[in-house]
């Protein structure tokens, strides 16, 4: 089993769109896949038409495997399950702070699902806190969507600095350009400059598209309703690139 986190300190960079479409691509490729929605906003859950529990409850998350399994929901797609977000997830840090081994609780509970899933994808909230450090400890790969703009570039540099200062392995960070506009000269220049400074960038680039923006209307992955569009296929290309990397690092 492998764990991939779609993560960024900055919001609005296409993190959830990547999580949803990569999970869909994984299931279509024959993998038993679990998408874990860690963001209390619940956008990933919404895209798969799965609502959060009306009763706020975060206690099950870091407790026993059987309690966690009861919260998992099947999607409309074969081999793809969802662990929906709950508004109480906003208090994860408070709960984690009171636990022993507070930075590795997520890794421990997700490891218990090894017999159920081939791939787990984490859709993470846009911040850097104790939950984020749990993600860094649990993930085999941290995918970081970066819009080719100055602010997005700055937050990526902040993430690298955090990893260095706190002893996390930088090699698990894999950024990719997201929401790139083909006719934007600044985007082109930023991509060129950042690729020179950061050779770890994935080759796949996710372009800005109104079709992707319509995921909220369709409430399904864009790969499910517009798969033939070339710019939509970039998600599948990104997934194949991820599979290749994970295969090299078994």
- pLDDT tens-digit readout, 40-99: 899 999 999 998 665 555 556 766 788 888 889 999 999 999 999 887 788 788 778 777
The per-residue pLDDT for range 179-207, each reduced to its tens digit, is 999 899 999 999 999 999 999 999 999 99
Q: What is the pLDDT of residue 200?
A: 94
User: Structure pTM?
Assistant: 0.93
Long-range contacts of 24-30 (CB under 8 A, 24+ apart): 24/77, 24/80, 24/221, 24/223, 24/224, 25/223, 25/235, 25/236, 25/239, 26/80, 26/118, 26/119, 26/121, 26/239, 27/77, 27/78, 27/79, 27/80, 28/77, 28/223, 29/239, 29/243, 30/79
Number of structural domains found in the chain: 1
Q: What is the pLDDT of residue 146?
A: 97
CATH number for the domain harbouring residue 64 = 3.40.50.300
What's the domain range around 110?
2-248
What's the chain's average pLDDT? 91
């Amino acid at each position: 089993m492998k764990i991939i986190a779609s993560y960024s300190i900055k919001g609005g960079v296409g993190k959830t769109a990547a999580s949803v479409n990569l999970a869909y691509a994984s299931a279509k490729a024959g993998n038993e896949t679990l998408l874990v929605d860690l963001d209390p906003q619940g956008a990933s859950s919404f895209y798969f038409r799965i609502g959060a529990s009306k009763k706020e409850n975060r206690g099950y998350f870091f407790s026993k495997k059987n309690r966690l399994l009861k919260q998992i929901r099947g999607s409309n797609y074969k081999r793809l399950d969802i662990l929906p977000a709950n508004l109480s997830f906003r208090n994860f840090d408070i709960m984690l702070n009171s636990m022993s081994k507070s930075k590795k609780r997520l890794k421990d509970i997700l490891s218990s699902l090894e017999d159920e899933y081939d791939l787990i994808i984490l859709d993470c909230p846009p911040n850097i806190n104790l939950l984020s450090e749990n993600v860094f400890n649990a993930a085999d790969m941290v995918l970081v969507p970066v819009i080719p703009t100055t602010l997005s570039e700055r937050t990526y540099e902040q993430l690298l600095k955090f990893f260095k200062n706190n002893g996390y392995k930088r090699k698990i960070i894999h950024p990719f350009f997201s929401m790139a506009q083909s006719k934007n000269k600044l985007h082109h220049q930023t991509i060129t400059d950042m690729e020179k400074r950061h050779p770890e960038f994935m080759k796949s680039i996710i372009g800005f598209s109104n079709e992707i923006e319509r995921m909220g209307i369709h409430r399904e992955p864009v790969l499910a309703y517009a798969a033939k569009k070339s710019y939509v296929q970039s998600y599948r290309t990104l997934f194949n690139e991820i599979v290749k990397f994970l295969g090299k690092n078994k």
